[in-house]
Chain A
Amino acid sequence: MLKNRRKPMMGGSMSHDEYQIHKAKILTPAFWVLLTLTVIGFALIAVRFIWGIGAVSNLSDGYPWGIWITYDVATGTAIACGGYAVAILIYIRNKMHYHPLIRSAVLTSLFGYGLAGFSVMVDVGRPWNAYNFFVPSQWQANSAMFEVALCVMAYTTVLAIEFLPAVLTRLQETNWSRARSFLEKYHGRFGLDTPVVLEKLEKLGQRALWLQPRLDKVLIFVIVLGITLPTMHQSSLGSLLLIASTKLYPLWHTGFLPLLFLINCMFIGYSIAILESIISSYGFKRPFEIDQLSGLASITPYLTSIWLCVVVGDLVWRGQVANALRFDFYSAFFLLEFGLVATGSLLLFSKKRRQSPRWLFITAVLIVLGGALYRFNVYLIGFNPGQGWRYFPSLAELMITVGIVAFEILGYQVLVKLFPVLPRLHGHEVVEKV
């Protein structure tokens, strides 16, 4: 159904043709559920900032990072690598065929990275010192942590710019119907004067019209940055744990951590792009993008194979195979992580399964879970700060993470209904019943 398309060119110039606003009701039951979770999460974040980290979390001197860093930062940014992985495919391997997928992938990445940076602010013990980050004389350029922080901030900005064309297009095309009805309802209140506000909004549209072609010209540089930055910091996320040689269980502590994290984020990125597309199609009742998805799915097993080979080869080289097969606590988690990724990849070698939405979904779930478990293993499960220390996230701590994830899904749900993000459907416009 998506085959007879003109081959798109670079950048956002073809955005009018490739993407569409998902026309559906915004205030669905799912919206309210997610909003509730978001509000709970952010209320707890407020508690954290008023009464301190100890009031909401189980973090301690032994476990200075917990679920926030492990999930929201280390795993969340990998899950947010859909934009990165798809961008590599489109711009490095020049497969423009996948271009319609990029915008929704970029949007998820934008939420993933923005909120990862936000989570760090929740997690740091003395957030009032964070301004030092913007003072170059305070930089510690040899620190992997510094590089991660710099890249996460830069990449979030890059993603925002990459998403900007969707906003600009919308600003030009909108007739401000929602704004009009709002203004009519509240005319005179809040100091709102309908004609004046509308005039200002029109001007905004004109500015967008002026900006768009100029942005298109430089967008490719931004995209190049958007590919470079994750390559830098995803490997650095692995480097961070190199320092914990006595604390990280030997199954996971290896000089290959940066490489493993880099490949890991790529296959998680492709799998999450598949998942996101299938879930959107399913949830929004749109047809599945089988063509592109099976294409992505044909790449993942090769990436995972490389990753699994590095893992096994490294274990053999370091003489840790016996540890991996000990079937104790650590070995169980290692085998689970390994098994999930390996099973998901093996299933994907079949072309028939790659054409099936169900199998695409199952394999993507397996690979994402396995890949995410790898990051959990490295950051939390395989990490032992010393005898006697223990950690399990508190309910409030978990609810903050849940609130942040809920906010991501909520934002995605709302923005695809406001801006042209999802791939354009040709032939049949499916509109959700209200």
Chain B
Amino acid sequence: MSQLGHFFGNGISRRDFIKTCVATTAVMGLPFSMAAKVAEAAQAPDRPPVIWLHFQECTGCSESLLRANHPAPATLLLEMISLDYHETLMAGSGHQAEKSLHDSMKANHGKYILIVEGAIPTKENGIYCKVGGKTALESLRKAAEGAAAIISIGTCASYGGIQAAPPNPTGAVGVRDIIKDKPIINIPGCPPSPYNLLSTVLYFLTFKKLPELDEMGRPKFAYGRRIHEHCERRPHFDAGRFAKAFGHETHAQGYCLYKLGCKGPATYANCSVQRFNDVGVWPVSVGHPCIGCTEPDILFRTAIADKVQIHEPTPFDSYAPVDLKDKGKGASPVTTGILGLAAGAALGAGAMMARKLPDAEQPAEHGQGGDHEPKE
């Protein structure tokens, strides 16, 4: 794919490469020291190739990856990762393209990473989506056979997306509804953050295993928390300050967008932290409520203006510890015991001494008592 170097600028500098590795390592939630290991994996000569299939979709996921302001993620993916087949990016076409796909699948059988973009129609044997004379269903089943792992990028490949929205005329479904015997990682989002994809691929290359996934098959490092938990408008939510309408004074004030239909309280994603376009923006930061694109039951199934049910109206209780836990060390039974004995002995000795001391001044001999030094 050397012609892409021409398109995206002359390759990737060492500095950009390391920066991107550090960024993806951070997205994975790994310590900084792991960045070196990630960078090493991204350069390994025997790293597995990537095959990228497109089905029912808008290519927005590929676009978001390629059209990022800084080309680093795309360049890294395209140059560092051996992308053997990508229908929208590859120069070849027709039979030549088909041959390239076939050759790569054969040569790297059992080793390559399959990335799927788009939903797969199943009605009428999947005739609604065909590439090279084969239905999406056939292509997917064939490519999945030799894949080491499958990454479903975008909401369509993950859950069916807009194609699967009722009444779902083509019977579109996500990859996980068809392929049952391969490890599948869902990177939902419309589109997802390119860093989430890159981090997942590099995680797989670095550790030779899948990252920890939630019950939706999403990597927990990116989809472990609701965006509401880290939203910059969260203090307004907690204080009960809500934007009442688009363009309203409360909206201009940057108040919480919940009443405008923000799905943040129900949506698991790292948008509020990782953000987009490498300049730190995301929908909520520019005044639009979250539409819940990473959730199978929210986007395309509820109206954008609908409010979600909030199950935890109060802030979660795992902030920095200013709690009631005991700090420092208290009394130990042995210490208190010995101290009590000593105090008792001193008191006793004092009392004994007071008893032995003469009550009135006596001119003659005193102090016939014991020869020890009494304690005070």
Closest to B356 in A: A282
* From B328, B334, B350, B359, residue with most partner A Cβ within 10 Å: B328
Query: Which single member of B324, B335, B338, B357 contacts A358 (CB below 8 Å)?
Result: B357
The 7 tightest CB contacts between A and B, nearest first, are A392-B331, A60-B328, A58-B329, A358-B357, A390-B330, A30-B373, A395-B335
Q: Is A170 an interface residue (CB 8 A)?
A: no
Chain A residues near B361 (CB-CB < 8 A): 288, 290, 355-357
Query: Which single member of A30, A355, A361 contacts B372 (CB below 8 Å)?
Result: A30
Q: Is the CB of A362 within 8 A of B354?
A: yes
Q: Is A14 an interface residue (CB 8 A)?
A: no
Interface residues of A in 258-296 (CB under 8 A from B): 275, 278-279, 281-283, 285-288, 290
Q: Is B45 an interface residue (CB 8 A)?
A: no
Q: Is the CB of A359 within 8 A of B376?
A: no
- Chain B contact patch, size range: 35 or more
Chain B residues near A368 (CB-CB < 8 A): 376
Chain B residues near A275 (CB-CB < 8 A): 376
Q: Is the CB of B327 within 8 A of A398?
A: no
Closest to A60 in B: B328
Given A357-B366, A365-B350, A368-B376, the answer on whether A388 and B324 have CB atoms closer than 8 Å is: yes
Q: Is the CB of A390 within 8 A of B326?
A: yes
- In angstroms, Cα B179 to Cα A88, docked, is 97
Given A279-B376, A365-B350, A413-B373, the answer on whether A391 and B366 have CB atoms closer than 8 Å is: no
Question: How far, in Å, is B340 (CB) from chain A's closest CB?
Answer: 12
Q: Is A115 an interface residue (CB 8 A)?
A: no
Question: How far, in Å, is B166 (CB) from chain A's closest CB?
Answer: 54
Q: Is B314 an interface residue (CB 8 A)?
A: no
- In angstroms, Cα B363 to Cα A226, docked, is 35
Q: Is A4 an interface residue (CB 8 A)?
A: no
Query: Which single member of A28, A34, A62, A413 contacts B327 (CB below 8 Å)?
Result: A62
Q: Is B313 an interface residue (CB 8 A)?
A: no
Q: Is the CB of A357 within 8 A of B376?
A: no
Q: Is the CB of A395 within 8 A of B338?
A: yes
Closest to B338 in A: A395
Question: How far, in Å, is A308 (CB) from chain B's closest CB?
Answer: 22
Q: Is the CB of B373 within 8 A of A358?
A: no
Closest to A293 in B: B361
Q: Is B371 an interface residue (CB 8 A)?
A: yes
Closest to A362 in B: B354
Interface residues of B in 353-376 (CB under 8 A from A): 353-361, 363, 366-369, 371-374, 376
Q: Is the CB of B376 within 8 A of A365?
A: yes
* A-B CB contact pairs (8 Å), 6 listed: A58-B328, A288-B358, A357-B358, A358-B358, A392-B329, A393-B335
Q: Is the CB of B354 within 8 A of A62?
A: no
- In angstroms, Cα B371 to Cα A278, docked, is 14
Interface string of B107-131 (1 = CB under 8 A from A): 0000000000000000000000000
A residues within 8 Å of B by Cβ?
1, 28-30, 34, 58, 60-63, 275, 278-279, 281-283, 285-288, 290, 355-359, 361-362, 365, 368, 387-395, 398, 402, 409, 413, 432
Chain A residues near B2 (CB-CB < 8 A): none
Q: Is B325 an interface residue (CB 8 A)?
A: yes
Chain B residues near A1 (CB-CB < 8 A): 363
Closest to B330 in A: A390
- In angstroms, Cα B372 to Cα A209, docked, is 37
Question: How far, in Å, is B197 (CB) from chain A's closest CB?
Answer: 44
- In angstroms, Cα B327 to Cα A287, docked, is 53
Chain B residues near A278 (CB-CB < 8 A): 357
B residues within 8 Å of A by Cβ?
323-332, 334-336, 338-339, 342, 350, 353-361, 363, 366-369, 371-374, 376
Chain A residues near B369 (CB-CB < 8 A): 282
Q: Is the CB of A394 within 8 A of B332?
A: yes
Closest to A353 in B: B359
Q: Is the CB of A394 within 8 A of B373?
A: no
Question: How far, in Å, is B348 (CB) from chain A's closest CB?
Answer: 13
Chain A residues near B324 (CB-CB < 8 A): 387-388
Q: Is the CB of B360 within 8 A of A29?
A: no
Question: How far, in Å, is B118 (CB) from chain A's closest CB?
Answer: 55
Given A282-B367, A285-B367, A287-B366, the answer on whether A392 and B330 have CB atoms closer than 8 Å is: yes
Beyond A358-B354, A362-B354, A365-B376, 17 extra complex contacts between A and B, CB < 8 Å: A30-B373, A60-B328, A282-B357, A288-B361, A288-B366, A290-B361, A355-B361, A356-B359, A357-B366, A358-B358, A365-B354, A388-B325, A391-B330, A394-B335, A398-B339, A402-B342, A432-B371
Chain A residues near B338 (CB-CB < 8 A): 395, 398
Closest to B329 in A: A58
* From A30, A63, A283, A286, residue with most partner B Cβ within 10 Å: A283
Chain A residues near B325 (CB-CB < 8 A): 388
Chain A residues near B332 (CB-CB < 8 A): 392, 394-395
Question: How far, in Å, is A373 (CB) from chain B's closest CB?
Answer: 12
Closest to A387 in B: B324
Q: Is the CB of B367 within 8 A of A281?
A: yes
Question: How far, in Å, is B353 (CB) from chain A's closest CB?
Answer: 7
Closest to A282 in B: B367
Chain A residues near B366 (CB-CB < 8 A): 281-282, 285, 287-288, 357
Query: Which single member of B334, B360, B363 contacts A355 (CB below 8 Å)?
Result: B360
Closest to A433 in B: B371
Closest to A1 in B: B363
Question: How far, in Å, is B358 (CB) from chain A's closest CB?
Answer: 5
Q: Is the CB of B329 within 8 A of A279?
A: no
Q: Is the CB of A390 within 8 A of B358?
A: no
- In angstroms, Cα B327 to Cα A388, docked, is 6
Chain A residues near B328 (CB-CB < 8 A): 58, 60-63, 389-391
Query: Which single member of A61, A361, A391 contacts B357 (CB below 8 Å)?
Result: A361
Chain A residues near B376 (CB-CB < 8 A): 275, 279, 365, 368
- In angstroms, Cα B329 to Cα A61, docked, is 11
Q: Is the CB of A359 within 8 A of B359?
A: yes
Question: How far, in Å, is B65 (CB) from chain A's closest CB?
Answer: 48
Question: How far, in Å, is B199 (CB) from chain A's closest CB?
Answer: 37
Query: Which single member of B327, B334, B363, B368 contacts A395 (CB below 8 Å)?
Result: B334
Q: Is the CB of B329 within 8 A of A60?
A: yes
Chain B residues near A29 (CB-CB < 8 A): 371-372
Chain B residues near A393 (CB-CB < 8 A): 335
Query: Which single member of B339, B342, B355, B374 contacts A283 (CB below 8 Å)?
Result: B374
Question: How far, in Å, is A205 (CB) from chain B's closest CB?
Answer: 31
- In angstroms, Cα B376 to Cα A409, docked, is 11
- In angstroms, Cα B206 to Cα A310, docked, is 73
Chain B residues near A395 (CB-CB < 8 A): 332, 334-335, 338
Q: Is the CB of A356 within 8 A of B360?
A: yes
Chain B residues near A290 (CB-CB < 8 A): 361
